[in-house]
Chains A and B, each alone.
Chain A
């Protein structure tokens, strides 16, 4: 457990007046309020710290205790030992995988705070909490490989202590968020349940670049294939495909393979396209004979 410098969090010194604290708190709360910084975990964290600092420093009694305790920080170790011997069990509220969504849970103070002031949460401080009617919205992140989204996928995920079976539609976008109604926290007093927001992170484990349902790749072809034409075999997401390279194909020529891209999101049976850009490879380490022939060729032009 680490000592928390509440003055530093509010950008103040120990000599700060009550008015200074109030002013600093309000200014920082406006800056870091989670509702004004959607999808910003660091703002949410910062807001919690600011609230905790204000909870302590705006209350004369708590501030006094904190100032004393802060001075005697070297005794904190023995204090901590005594606490552990009592069999404290206050660490169970750490959640993994998900975190609170739009609803902000102010009761989650730091261990430092709890050890000093107990787990009472807000005691007053002029702020009134909503007894939330609708359950808390939850956020979760789901990481998938690009090759996992070629078909609809049934998957069971755990959010908190709940297991949720869901079908992940093929072709879902990287960083796309889907809302699953009613899979958030329980509502209060008969209120509706919160919603679950799942954000997908699609890791591209293929050689293709992706834009929506279209995919892109470059393919090296030999100089002679480019000049004289020929057949090449390329790897696509759905297996090998033979391509006819036309004679006199220029470098950077782009060909489109219709329907060889990714499935289109929520459009059954529709696929994007695959674009192949040819890169002509020039031969290296020419032999004497090759040099001779190329010289001869050059004279023909």
Chain B
């Protein structure tokens, strides 16, 4: 069975309780990309986890769109650093 990779923004907003203004702001701030097909806007299914995460941060903690961008960058850096640290720890263990 082929998987639907893109979801109509309108459809997504209707079912998720997330307003289209929120999705549009994410787009304006470069936090997500839209796929346009025959004048309809779609979001990538792979972005949904990220959209819902940003929505929770916005909603739960009142983080604005600039803040969401900063947090995302920081989390990515943290993830990279954690992976590096993990590898260094494994290397260090060779000498124990």
Contacts and interface: CB of A to CB of B under 8 A. Distances in A.
> Are A and B associated in one complex?
yes
Interface string B67-81: 000010001000100
A189 B93 contact: no
Interface in B1-36: 3-4, 7, 12, 14-18
A33 B60 contact: yes
Interface of A: 26, 29-30, 33, 35-36, 38, 102-104, 127-134, 137, 174-175, 182, 188-192, 195, 209-211, 216
Contacts of A36: 57, 71, 75
A102 B17 contact: no
A127 B60 contact: yes
B16 A191 contact: yes
B17 A38 contact: no
A130 B19 CA distance: 10
B57 A35 contact: yes
Contacts of A137: 49
Contacts of A130: 16-18, 52, 55-56, 59
Chain A CB within 10 A, most for which of B3, B7, B16, B60: B60
A131 B16 contact: yes
Given A102-B53, A103-B52, A211 B94 contact: yes
Contact of A29 (B12, B18, B45, B61): B61
A228 to B, nearest CB: 30
Chain B interface bracket (under 10, 10 to 19, 20 to 34, 35 or more): 20 to 34
B15 A192 contact: no
B53 A209 contact: no
A215 to B, nearest CB: 10
Contact of A30 (B17, B52, B55, B61): B61
A174 B48 CA distance: 28
Contacts of A103: 52
A192 B4 contact: yes
Contacts of A210: 90
11 contacts: A36-B57, A38-B79, A102-B52, A127-B60, A130-B18, A132-B16, A133-B12, A188-B16, A190-B15, A192-B45, A209-B93
A124 to B, nearest CB: 14
A17 B6 CA distance: 48
B59 A128 contact: yes
B60 A211 contact: no
A192 B56 contact: no
B91 interface: yes
Given A191-B15, A192-B3, 4 more contacts: A130-B55, A130-B56, A133-B48, A216-B94
B19 to A, nearest CB: 10
A134 to B, nearest CB: 4
